[in-house]
Amino acid sequence: MKRLLSMFLALLLLSGIPFSGLADDRAYLKEHISVLGDADIPPTPAGVHHYLLIGMDKWQNNPENQGYNDGLVLLTFDELAGRVIVTSFIRDMLIIRPDGNPGRINRVVREYGVEDLLKVINRHFGIRVEKYVLMDWRHIMEIVDACGGVTLDLTSDEAHYLKGWSVPVNSTQPVLNGAGTYHLNGFASVIYMRIRKRRASNNLDTQDFGRTFRVRTVLSGLAGNIKGYDINQAQDLLTKVLNIWNQPFDKGFTYPGIKNNGIFTFGIPPRDPTTKRYKTNISMADMLEAVRVAFLLRNSQVEQWRLPADGTVRQFTYAGGDGQLLDFEQNRALLHDFMFPESFMVVE
């Protein structure tokens, strides 16, 4: 019996399975991840509107079988200061989950739901985000097309990546051929935003940091497209977006020119064929208010922020995977200094 036990323990050691490592890591993270209580989160300054844009890691999202919320972008309008801010969140940041244990932020929707994701963001970053839209890659592709595509700079590595993904030749103007300035349609824009293992055009960000830079770049480009809109064009764009959101899961959906149309229908479709792929708690009245504010601020320069900020994060392996451990106290302070530098009036 002792020999069998010794052999079993030896096999465990050789396999690399930790005995106390996971528990130790969990305790360490719970001690080092600073989270606010709801009562400690300051009120939102007057005139500030937050909208969380959630991108799921599927071309067609099935609400009955959610994927991971790999794309997180906070869109902030500040009417009084005349500011438009796009803030991106790194997908593998380590947070305290709703159950009180550490985990990665991109799994919160799948395991707990969207409302709990809002609570996680608010408690970790000291803001009050209440409105959200959850979308998939097909939604984003079609919305980019509705906005007229986006013009941006590609590095030679990025252009090579897009060609390797067999992006149809009519998806970019001009045809991909090394580094340069290109106009990307919706499909090419989504593939561009998903690039991870290439250095971004700012020559700084790689991996998921580069991915968040690309997302902010596309959103800033789209904002530039609509600067010349009048109110009727803005309302027409809203109508198009609502129609895009309301499209159900389509098992027969294809996209012209790509070699693998199966990417759009991979996975199990909803049991109810009329199930919508998106989710939002923004009412029509709130939508119209958002359009009004966006139109008011259409000529504002889009400002960008990333969470975590530079110098406030380190890599940390947890539960067998790489994650990012933030100094949340420092990130909260930096975010508030950037987002609300002169805001003293608060909503009662």
The ranges assigned to domains in the chain are 22-135+227-339
Distance CA 85, CA 38 (A): 24
What distances in angstroms separate CA 63 from CA 14, 66, 122, 136, 247, one per listed residue? 41, 5, 23, 11, 13
Nearest to 327 by CA among 21, 33, 26: 33
Q: Are 107 and 234 in contact (CB under 8 A)?
A: no
Query: HSE on the CB side for 260, CA within 13 Å?
Result: 7
pLDDT given for residue 14 in this prediction:
45
pLDDT given for residue 4 in this prediction:
52
Q: Which segments of 95-155 does DSSP mark as H helices, in order? A: 108-112, 114-125, 137-146
pLDDT given for residue 22 in this prediction:
73
Q: pLDDT under 50 in the chain at which residues?
A: 5, 8-19, 344-348
**pTM recorded for the entire structure:** 0.89
Distance CA 126, CA 337 (A): 12
Distance CA 94, CA 102 (A): 7
Q: Are 198 and 161 in contact (CB under 8 A)?
A: yes
Distance CA 47, CA 196 (A): 36
Distance CA 304, CA 86 (A): 5
Assigned token pair, 24: 């130790």
Nearest to 67 by CA among 85, 80, 83, 55: 55
Distance CA 188, CA 168 (A): 8
pLDDT given for residue 266 in this prediction:
76
pLDDT given for residue 9 in this prediction:
44
Query: HSE on the CB side for 63, CA within 13 Å?
Result: 15
In the three-class reduction of DSSP (H, G, I as helix; E, B as strand; rest coil), residue 74 is classed as strand
Give the right CATH number for 22-135+227-339 from 3.40.430.10, 3.40.50.150, 3.30.1360.70, 3.40.630.190: 3.40.630.190
pLDDT given for residue 115 in this prediction:
98
pLDDT given for residue 127 in this prediction:
98
